[in-house]
Structure 1
Amino acid sequence: MSTPLLQDAGVPFDLFISSLTEQLDKAQASMAIKARLGKLPLTFAVKEVSLDLRAFVQILDDDIYLRPAGPGETEASSIKLQLTTITKPMIDENSVDYSTEDPKFSLREALGDQISETEQRQLERIGVRTVQQLNELKEKAGTDVIARLSRMPVNRLQQALLRAAAPRVTRVEPGAGTGPGDTSGRVHLSAPGLRPGRLPRVRAAGESVAVVGAEDGRIVLAPMASQLGCEAEVDFGDGQVARVELSDGRLGQWRPA
């Protein structure tokens, strides 16, 4: 049963479209079964669907709701919808790939309390759904442009960007050594604060951590076994210092130099 809010406001526009296309999917599947089982040499299919609706439109919490007009309600808006077909390659080419970002490094997970649900929706409206996209947009457009397009306060956005740009452990490759001086394989970091041509200084457990690779915003470390799992200090230079635990999936944070 619908909640009182949905009964009064109608249904969300995206839910209406999803329900409509789901019904069309069922109709298409039914026609396909009939043609296959009946071995029909010729049958019919739905190519396009056009709808003229009389409905009231409301915006609640940035979502659009539709409520169909009832008898005698003459002030409703006229809404015309025309649905057409789309193939799987067209869907793959024109829709967002939600599997590209590791769930451990999603926008919500990375930014935590630095961003509210409303602010997250504001970023999603301009196409920013992952930490990587947020950092890329900052490099190309700058903080002021993101703040203006997303309608977020600049100071809130700067806090979010600072958190998003902190290093994070993307992968740990354990080594065979277990002694205090043995290396523990490799620790891969995503490091948006990395500057081209400059290796960061990394320390953990009171000793330096070997940096064996640094390019394209990524760092590869070769810590000793005793340093794995410890909090590391990553000094990018120019006063940029971050801390991150050398464990799989850990997110770092900035601190004053």
Structure 2
Amino acid sequence: MNAALPPLVQESGVPFDVFIQSLTEQLDKAQAAMALKARVAKLPLTFAVKDISLDLRAFVQMVDDDVYVRPAGPGDSEASTIRLALTTITRSMVEENAVDFKAEEPQFSLREALQGRMSDEDQRRLERIGVRTVEQLTELRKTAGADVVARLARMPVNRLQQALLNAAAPRVTQVEPAPPGGSAGARVHLQAPGLRAGRIPFVRAAGQDVPVVEAHDGRLVLAPHAMQLGVDAEIDFGDGEVAHVPLTQGRIGRWAGEAKAEGIA
């Protein structure tokens, strides 16, 4: 092992995903070079790499939930053999099977939505089963039982249930101020994963009803009076599900039990 390499690399090697990415990146460079050669030299026929097979002798170990590989040196008879077979896929195949990295509002990241109640370890456990966003966690709440998801993520059921509950709380995504001189008032937009199809929730703030302009697809648009802006609102979704959320940009709601425990209601 090269002594110029960092001590961690000398001892543990490199993360397996970094190794794969580096390998495929070099193959991409080779493909780009062949394409350039064909265009510049006007060759009617050239060569391409379709499949590659590698037998890599290496030591494999876990470092903080990551798989590391360290290539074996001369005389390392106890190293494992990793067989890699690389083949080609199209761009559409990559896009179809890749993670959707659609950006979320920073204030509504998974960590923020769970209000600091999720540890780094729990977040990694959810990511390992494909849950990276609030929307994905909310979808799990609708389609799978908490006990099943907890077994897959290897999380305690009570912590997962709390995470699912917090992720379903309403959150204010936008506050549109009333236009100057217009007849329309302000509009408050909320994401409301707890909203059931065909139901219009009952909303109150500052002792008065808050008009609901829209309620569909997990989203709410409210038309509060001027005195209700910034005030804590109570949203009754029905079936005993009541949440509290201040009508302020970027605020995340809490369910009634939590709100009372913190003196909000």
TM-score, with length taken from structure 2: 0.87
CA offsets per residue over residues 106-161 of structure 1, 9 Å max, x none? 21221132111211111111121111111111221111111111000112112211
Q: Which runs of 5+ in 1 are unaligned?
A: none
Secondary structure of 1:112's partner? coil
For residue 176 of structure 1, report the CA deviation from its aligned partner.
1.7
Q: Counterpart in 2 of 1:144?
A: 147
Q: Counterpart in 1 of 2:205?
A: 204
Tell me the distance in 2 between the aligned counterparts of 1:215 and 1:193: 11
For residue 2 of structure 1, report the CA deviation from its aligned partner.
4.6
Tell me the distance in 1 between the aligned counterparts of 2:238 and 2:50: 61
Q: Counterpart in 2 of 1:32?
A: 35
Q: Counterpart in 2 of 1:22?
A: 25
2:83 pairs with one of 56, 80, 83:
80
Q: What amino acid sits opposite 2:45 in the alignment?
A: L
CA offsets per residue over residues 9-42 of structure 1, 9 Å max, x none? 1110000000111111111112222222222222
Do structure 1's residue 57 and structure 2's residue 26 form an aligned pair?
Answer: no
Secondary structure of 2:172's partner? strand
Q: Counterpart in 2 of 1:224?
A: 225
Aligned 1:121-136 pairs, distance under 5 A:
121-136=124-139
Secondary structure of 1:19's partner? helix
**RMSD between aligned residues:** 2.2
Query: Alpha carbons of 1:198 and 1:99: their partners in 2 closer, same or farther (altered >3 Å)?
Result: closer
Tell me the distance in 1 between the aligned counterparts of 2:240 and 2:180: 34
Query: Alpha carbons of 1:70 and 1:163: their partners in 2 closer, same or farther (altered >3 Å)?
Result: same
Q: What amino acid sits opposite 2:250 in the alignment?
A: G
Secondary structure of 2:228's partner? coil
2:13 pairs with one of 7, 10, 14:
10
CA contact (8 A) 1:178 1:225 kept: no
Q: Counterpart in 1 of 2:255?
A: 254
TM-score, with length taken from structure 1: 0.89
Do structure 1's residue 91 and structure 2's residue 81 form an aligned pair?
Answer: no
CA offsets per residue over residues 149-183 of structure 1, 9 Å max, x none? 1000112112211211100123334432579x962
CA offsets per residue over residues 196-234 of structure 1, 9 Å max, x none? 444322122332210123233322211123323333222
Query: Alpha carbons of 1:111 and 1:178: their partners in 2 closer, same or farther (altered >3 Å)?
Result: farther
Query: How many residue pairs get matched?
Result: 255
Of 139-148 and 167-176, deviating more is 167-176
Query: Alpha carbons of 1:255 and 1:43: their partners in 2 closer, same or farther (altered >3 Å)?
Result: same
For residue 72 of structure 1, report the CA deviation from its aligned partner.
0.6
Secondary structure of 1:250's partner? coil
For residue 84 of structure 1, report the CA deviation from its aligned partner.
1.1
Q: Which runs of 5+ in 2 are unaligned?
A: 261-265
State the identity %.
67
